[in-house]
């Protein structure tokens, strides 16, 4: 094999992998949110779960992406381990669609597909059309790359050393090991199966050897989910164990069948003149049969995973930690699943931060009404936690937004970044309120009964407004935003009225000067809390508009 052929092989491989990546990017932008929503609404029905898992994976052409998404949903508690079993089974079926597409051998029209895709990207400004253009261009580039690899491999037919290497894969153990390692390296069974099909179409590997490499590729694809489960909950880790068990079981079963029964001859005889179709059919048969055999045993797989990874006692710690964001740094080129799960993780962490801010706000007003030393310490500790969450969530968002390809999710992530800043400022105002209580004690003065009554009203409206913000974050409803805006206006109206009341009390000599100054500061904090609540509502309104357009 000369230098020209090697360069052609590397160039073809580069185009193939780039085409696969371009398709993934386009699919992520075009369909990522829809896929996530379907999974979120999934029922516990096993047949529906398998069909949904297969359908989603067939669309996004990546079982790894689907599995990563499932791991994330199990980790966040949005999905049970039993539901995850059916989705994983379906994902393994759906991933075979890529091999079937390659077996169609549309190399002749590949340049046309690439041209049409590039035209859509370059000359049409519509974002959705651009995304579909990336899918089309990626598909065309993928097949062009396959053609280049096939042409470059022709001289290898005369290489005794290469032919000898390929024949080694007729040893089941070596073939499975080679498939596992190669797929684990490139983290895409679709890509590795496509390369295997290219080798077969070039006459460099026969079906009797290719089947064992194929079985190993099914195990190697689990590496992405294993990496995604690092730092997650026990149930999320169990999800990856189930994924591994599924593919190890299928590999063991089909290896034994291929060694003892004429299955290879049967599958090869279905399409004797199309080696790519032979591999694609074996891949499809592998996953469908394995799913049918394990479908009644879903509960058993869950119990085995629980036995292999038992629950452990919760570690008691006083340290601050994120509850939903487990992997603080995302790998470059993160998959659709990673992106979708990260957005949900951010939302959950921000809701958690909102609950802490609401608690501190209530405690701050309580301090003004009835100062307590232990409550003051509690507020300070909670404020440190709020500051920690603001820093960690903001850093994660900064990392996430670099990799985010979906425009709608990118806007949502930006919205959460703004919300974190406003929540942190509300937390600061809660600390200010507690500080005013300390100042009243230092000055040995008290607020009047009228002022305490007004503070009670401030607490009530702030508490209900924060509860409304929390509900709006969870459901992203435009109707809820109008209530948030009304609450902020109510706070402004109350502030103006209470200032007038305070002036009247001062004119009547009902309060001393020190208390009056502090009460004026309280009203300023109250008003600014309302402003920050409105800012959060406006960010959520924009996000709810994005959400409604996805439906």
Confidence of residue 228 (pLDDT cuts 50, 70, 90): low
Under 8 Å between Cβ of 462 and 361:
yes
Q: Give the range with max mean pLDDT: 159-163, 187-191, 371-375, 422-426.
A: 422-426
Residues 6 or more apart in contact with residue 493 via CB below 8 angstroms:
none
Distance CA(152)–CA(262), nearest Å, equals 33
Distance CA(486)–CA(368), nearest Å, equals 26
Q: What is the pLDDT of residues 100-134, one digit of tens each?
A: 777 776 667 778 888 998 998 888 888 778 888 88
pLDDT at site 61: 63
Q: What is the pLDDT of residues 277-319, one digit of tens each?
A: 899 899 999 999 999 999 888 888 888 988 888 865 433 334 5
pLDDT beyond 90 at 16: no
pLDDT at site 427: 93
469-491 average pLDDT score: 84
Neighbours of 112 (CB within 10 A): 12
Structure tokens at 506: 């001062």
Query: If you average pLDDT over every residue of the chain, what do you get?
Result: 81
What is the SS3 assignment for 354? helix
Structure tokens at 400: 């996430």
Confidence of residue 546 (pLDDT cuts 50, 70, 90): very low
Distance (Å) of CA 492 to CA 418, 454, 531: 22, 14, 9
Residues 6 or more apart in contact with residue 284 via CB below 8 angstroms:
93, 96, 99, 100
Distance CA(343)–CA(334), nearest Å, equals 13
pLDDT at site 318: 44
Task: Please give the share of the chain, as a percent, with pLDDT higher than 70.
Answer: 82
Q: What is the pLDDT of residues 503-534, one digit of tens each?
A: 998 888 888 888 888 889 999 999 999 999 99
528-547 average pLDDT score: 82
Q: What is the pLDDT of residues 59-97, one digit of tens each?
A: 666 676 677 777 767 766 667 788 888 888 888 888 888
Under 8 Å between Cβ of 277 and 201:
no
Least confident of 15-24, 260-269, 330-339, 346-355: 330-339
Q: What is the pLDDT of residues 311-340, one digit of tens each?
A: 654 333 345 788 777 665 554 444 555 566
Q: Give per-residue burial for 521-535: e unless 16+ CB within 10 Å, then b.
A: ebbebbbbbbebbbb
pLDDT at site 512: 80
Q: What is the pLDDT of residues 17-46, one digit of tens each?
A: 787 777 766 766 665 555 556 665 555 577
Residues 6 or more apart in contact with residue 272 via CB below 8 angstroms:
none
- Helix (H) / strand (E) element for 454: namely helix 449-475
pLDDT at site 163: 65
Residue 164 dihedral angles phi and psi, to the nearest 5°: -65, -40
CA 473 and chain centroid, separation: 18
Distance CA(57)–CA(321), nearest Å, equals 33
Q: What is the CA radius of gyration of the chain?
A: 30
345-355 average pLDDT score: 89
Distance (Å) of CA 65 to CA 70, 228, 237, 501: 9, 10, 16, 61
Under 8 Å between Cβ of 523 and 499:
yes
Environment class of residue 414 by beta-carbon count within 10 Å: exposed (0-12), middle (13-18) or buried (19+)?
middle
pLDDT at site 531: 93
Q: What is the DSSP letter of 344?
A: H
Distance CA(165)–CA(44), nearest Å, equals 47
Q: What is the pLDDT of residues 424-460, one digit of tens each?
A: 999 999 999 989 888 888 888 888 889 999 999 999 9
More confident: 185 or 216: 216
Q: Strands, E, within 75-214: which ranges? A: none
For the chain, how are helix, strand and coil distributed in percent, rounded to 5? 85, 0, 15
Structure tokens at 321: 């930690």
Distance CA(517)–CA(496), nearest Å, equals 16
For tokens 């190993």, the residue is: 216
DSSP string, 206-241: -HHHHHHHHHHHHHHTTHHHHHHTTT--HHHHHHHH
Distance (Å) of CA 237 to CA 234, 246, 468: 5, 15, 35
Confidence of residue 551 (pLDDT cuts 50, 70, 90): very low
Under 8 Å between Cβ of 437 and 371:
yes
Neighbours of 330 (CB within 10 A): 17
Handedness of CA 42, 48, 54, 59 (dihedral sign): negative
pLDDT at site 285: 93
CA angle 288, 290, 294 (to 5 degrees): 120
Q: How far apart are the first and last CA of the chain?
A: 54
pLDDT at site 46: 76
471-479 average pLDDT score: 78
| Closest listed residue to residue 424, CA positions, set 354, 368, 323 | 354
Task: Please give the share of the chain, as a percent, with pLDDT higher than 90.
Answer: 24
Under 8 Å between Cβ of 179 and 192:
yes
pLDDT beyond 90 at 53: no
Under 8 Å between Cβ of 288 and 246:
no
């Amino acid at each position: 094999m000369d230098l020209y052929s090697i360069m052609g092989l590397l160039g073809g491989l580069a185009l193939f992998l780039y085409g696969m990546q371009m398709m993934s990017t386009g699919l992520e932008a075009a369909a990522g949110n829809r896929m996530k929503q379907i999974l979120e609404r999934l029922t516990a029905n096993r047949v529906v779960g398998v069909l949904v898992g297969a359908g989603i994976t067939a669309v996004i052409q990546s079982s790894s992406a689907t599995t990563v998404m499932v791991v994330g949903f199990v980790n966040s508690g949005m999905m049970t381990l039993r539901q995850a079993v059916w989705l994983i089974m379906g994902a393994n079926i759906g991933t075979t669609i890529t091999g079937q597409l390659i077996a169609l051998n549309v190399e002749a029209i590949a340049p046309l597909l690439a041209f049409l895709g590039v035209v859509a990207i370059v000359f049409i400004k519509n974002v959705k059309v651009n995304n579909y253009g990336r899918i089309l261009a990626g598909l065309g580039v993928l097949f062009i790359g396959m053609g280049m690899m096939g042409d470059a491999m022709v001289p290898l037919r005369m290489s005794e050393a290469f032919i000898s290497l390929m024949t080694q894969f007729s040893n089941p153990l070596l073939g499975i090991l080679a498939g596992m390692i190669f797929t684990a390296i490139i983290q895409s069974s679709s890509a590795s199966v496509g390369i295997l099909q290219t080798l077969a179409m070039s006459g460099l590997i026969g079906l009797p050897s290719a089947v064992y490499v194929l079985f190993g590729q099914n195990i190697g694809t689990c590496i992405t989910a294993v990496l995604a489960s690092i730092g997650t909950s026990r149930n999320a880790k169990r999800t990856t164990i189930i994924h591994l068990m599924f593919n190890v079981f299928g590999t063991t079963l089909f290896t034994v069948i291929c060694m003892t029964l004429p299955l290879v001859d049967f599958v090869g005889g279905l399409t004797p003149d199309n080696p790519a179709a032979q591999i694609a059919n074996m891949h499809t048969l592998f996953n469908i049969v394995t799913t049918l055999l394990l479908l009644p045993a879903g509960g058993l797989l869950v119990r085995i995973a629980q036995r292999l990874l038992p629950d452990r006692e919760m570690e008691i710690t006083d340290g601050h930690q994120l509850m939903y964001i487990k992997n603080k740094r995302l790998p470059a080129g993160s998959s659709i699943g990673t992106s979708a799960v990260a957005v949900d993780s951010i939302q959950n962490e921000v809701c958690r931060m909102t609950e802490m801010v609401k608690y501190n706000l209530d405690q701050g007003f309580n301090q003004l009404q009835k100062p307590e030393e232990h409550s003051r310490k509690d507020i300070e500790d909670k404020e440190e936690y709020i500051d920690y969450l603001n820093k960690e969530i903001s850093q994660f968002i900064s990392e996430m937004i670099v990799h985010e390809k979906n425009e709608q999710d990118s806007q949502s992530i930006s919205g959460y970044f703004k919300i974190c800043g406003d929540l942190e400022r509300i937390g600061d105002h809660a600390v200010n309120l507690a500080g005013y209580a300390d100042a009243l004690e230092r000055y040995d003065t008290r607020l009047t009964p009228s002022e305490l009554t007004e503070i009670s009203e401030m607490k009530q409206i702030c508490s209900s407004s924060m509860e409304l913000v929390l509900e709006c974050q969870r459901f992203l409803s435009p109707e809820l935003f109008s209530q948030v805006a009304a609450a902020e206006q109510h706070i402004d109206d109350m502030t103006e009225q209470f200032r007038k009341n305070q002036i009247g009390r001062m004119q009547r000599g009902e309060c001393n000067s020190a208390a009056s100054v502090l009460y004026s500061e309280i009203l300023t904090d109250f008003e600014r809390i309302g402003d920050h609540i409105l800012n959060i509502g406006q960010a959520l309104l924009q996000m709810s508009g994005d959400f409604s357009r996805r439906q």
